[in-house]
């Protein structure tokens, strides 16, 4: 009677369904939460928002009221030539009107007659208005609008960065899980090969098997040990790469404890992708939103350039009084006022027309690239959706293949027990089963990554 130990094949189904973990498990969801909270790229994404806010604050500074003061005095040979003092405030407004108020007090022997004012000084209050160039938009208002568009674009840039981090982290996690799961498969394979080798040696001693069978069994031990060593090296490399996604609250990198393991790859129902919803979401993809904000900023620049073709017509008007209480009684252009009108314009407008034409060309180019980008994003989404569905089909097919190979192995082992087969054929069948399990694990890992890629292609992430 042959004494070769026949092993049950229950372990193969365990490989497919996933291993029970006795050690601490870092789940996929917990890993993503940690990454989005503490990873440097997530921090950098928040910094972009701060930059956008600071750009708007800087642009709003163009509308800050300005207080000024001048003192100009000359005394020579005990003679006061002049003593000129002036202080005022200027307040820009969003409407393009600049409000201003001044106080002037001058004296001196050689003072310019037009600078002569009452002894107690003279108050003036009024405004300056652009009636031509700058009436609808000027550099100050254009800068603020562009800063606001940049601020809005930083939200899309943040989403873009976080979406990219989501995809990279997902890919990293499931590659780590694949390396762990495959290592367990190969460890089990080595244990089975060593147990079989010992059983074959025992059968050889009793004369039930030939010496060549011990060589065959031992070669399988060596071959599986080699593959296990390869898997250990892959797991080490993947774990080192995985560590680059782990950071603590203070921004310091974390080295993963060896006792922590990932979720096992399991043949569970796949996540359902709402393809219609993803196709709709492409229109609001952060990549497209960033281009839209760039176009909006260019349109502001176009409007500003178009204004520069219009002649400059600037009207200034100020009430003048010795007493601030008299402003209520002063009539417009009746008494005690000063006003002025400035008009100038180039004759050929070549600089302004060239700038406007260049801006229009930039807009046209950006619109074309935006249309192309949308087509590329939609094409990429369709490709990822097809890849995801194809992996689902492949997993179903390969799962059936694993079951079939297990059945063949069971039959081959029964034939071996009754002496109608060889250890070589049994090992060959077993190698096929192990190889198919490793391939199935890889397909499961790819499907999980493909799910994330489909969401990323539609502009989704964490």
Among the listed ranges 81-90, 93-102, 327-336, 353-362, which one has the minimum average pLDDT value? 327-336
- pLDDT, position 330: 55
At 417-455, the pLDDT tens digits run 888 888 888 888 999 999 999 999 999 999 999 999 999
- pLDDT, position 406: 93
- pLDDT, position 201: 86
CATH topology for 10-59+141-300+356-457 is Outer membrane efflux proteins (OEP) (1.20.1600)
Mean pLDDT, residues 88-111 taken together: 93
Listed in sequence order, the residues at least 6 apart from 163 whose beta carbon sits closer than 8 Å to its beta carbon are 286, 456, 459, 460, 461, 462
Measured between alpha carbons, how far is residue 259 from residues 166, 185, 244, 256 in Å?
25, 18, 18, 8
CA 219, CA 234: separation in Å to the nearest integer?
A: 23
CA 144, CA 152: separation in Å to the nearest integer?
A: 12
- pLDDT, position 235: 96
At 183-222, the pLDDT tens digits run 999 999 999 999 988 988 888 888 777 788 889 889 999 9
- The per-residue b/e assignment along 372-401, b for 16 or more CB within 10 angstroms, e otherwise, is eebeebbebbbebbebbbebbebbeebbeb
Res. 331: pLDDT tops 70: no
- pLDDT, position 19: 41
Res. 153: pLDDT tops 70: yes
Mean pLDDT, residues 156-171 taken together: 97
- pLDDT, position 13: 40
Q: Calculate ∠ Cα 429-212-208, nearest 5°.
A: 90
Assign 6 a pLDDT band (cuts: 50, 70, 90).
Answer: very low
Indicate the helix (H) or strand (E) that contains 27.
none
CA 272, CA 257: separation in Å to the nearest integer?
A: 33
Assign 333 a pLDDT band (cuts: 50, 70, 90).
Answer: low
* Rounded percentage of the chain residues whose pLDDT exceeds 90: 73
At 342-371, the pLDDT tens digits run 999 988 889 999 999 999 999 999 999 999
- pLDDT, position 10: 35
**For the chain, how long is the longest CA-to-CA vector?**
136
* Rounded percentage of the chain residues whose pLDDT exceeds 70: 92
- pLDDT, position 326: 61
At 271-313, the pLDDT tens digits run 788 999 999 999 999 999 999 999 999 999 999 999 999 999 9
- pLDDT, position 328: 61
| End-to-end CA separation in angstroms for the chain | 62
Provide the residue ranges of all domains of the chain, joining segments of one domain with +.
Answer: 10-59+141-300+356-457, 65-135+311-348
Res. 97: pLDDT tops 80: yes
- pLDDT, position 272: 80
At 105-120, the pLDDT tens digits run 999 999 988 888 888 8
At 370-386, the pLDDT tens digits run 999 999 999 999 999 99
At 14-68, the pLDDT tens digits run 333 444 444 689 999 999 999 999 999 999 999 999 999 999 999 999 999 999 9
Listed in sequence order, the residues at least 6 apart from 364 whose beta carbon sits closer than 8 Å to its beta carbon are none
Report residue 275 CA to chain centroid gap: 22
Res. 259: pLDDT tops 50: yes
């Amino acid at each position: 009677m042959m004494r070769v130990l026949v092993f049950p094949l229950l372990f193969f189904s365990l490989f497919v369904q996933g291993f029970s973990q006795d050690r601490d498990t870092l789940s996929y969801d917990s890993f993503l939460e940690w990454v989005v909270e503490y990873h440097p790229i997530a921090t950098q994404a928040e910094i972009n928002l701060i930059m956008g806010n600071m750009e708007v604050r800087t642009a709003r500074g163009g509308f800050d009221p300005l207080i000024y003061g001048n003192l100009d005095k000359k005394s020579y040979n005990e003679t006061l030539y002049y003593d000129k003092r002036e202080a005022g405030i200027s307040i820009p407004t969003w409407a393009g009107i600049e409000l201003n108020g001044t106080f002037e007090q001058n004296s001196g022997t050689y003072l310019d007659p037009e600078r002569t004012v009452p002894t107690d000084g003279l108050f003036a209050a009024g405004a300056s208005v652009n009636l031509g160039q700058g009436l609808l938009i000027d550099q100050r208002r254009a800068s603020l609008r562009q800063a606001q568009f940049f601020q809005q674009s930083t939200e899309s840039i943040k989403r873009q960065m976080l979406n990219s981090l989501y995809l990279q982290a997902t890919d990293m996690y499931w590659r780590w899980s694949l390396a762990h799961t495959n290592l367990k498969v190969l460890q089990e394979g080595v244990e089975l090969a060593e147990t079989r080798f010992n059983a074959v040696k025992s059968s050889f001693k009793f004369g039930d098997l030939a010496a060549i069978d011990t060589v065959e069994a031992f070669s399988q031990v060596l071959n599986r040990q080699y593959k296990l060593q390869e898997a250990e090296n892959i797991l080490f490399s993947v774990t080192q790469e995985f560590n680059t996604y782990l950071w603590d609250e203070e921004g310091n990198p974390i080295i993963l404890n060896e006792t922590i393991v990932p979720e096992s790859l399991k043949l569970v129902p796949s996540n359902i992708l709402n393809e219609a919803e993803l196709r709709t979401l492409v229109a609001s993809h952060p990549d497209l939103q960033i281009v839209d904000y760039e176009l909006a900023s260019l349109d502001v620049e176009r409007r500003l350039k178009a204004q520069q073709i219009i002649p400059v017509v600037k009207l200034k008007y100020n009430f003048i009084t010795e007493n601030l209480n008299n402003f209520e009684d002063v009539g417009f252009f009746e008494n005690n006022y000063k006003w002025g009108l400035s008009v100038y314009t180039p004759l050929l407008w070549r600089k302004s027309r060239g700038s406007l034409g260049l801006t229009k060309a930039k807009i046209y180019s950006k619109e074309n690239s935006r249309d192309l980008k949308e087509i590329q994003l939609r094409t990429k989404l369709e490709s990822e959706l097809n890849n995801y569905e194809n992996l689902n089909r492949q997993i179903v097919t390969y799962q059936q293949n694993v079951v079939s190979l297990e059945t063949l192995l069971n039959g081959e082992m029964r034939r071996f027990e009754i002496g109608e087969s060889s250890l070589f054929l049994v090992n060959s069948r077993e190698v096929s089963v192990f190889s198919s399990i490793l391939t199935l694990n890889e397909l499961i890992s790819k499907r999980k990554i493909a799910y994330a890629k489909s969401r990323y292609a539609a502009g989704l992430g964490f």
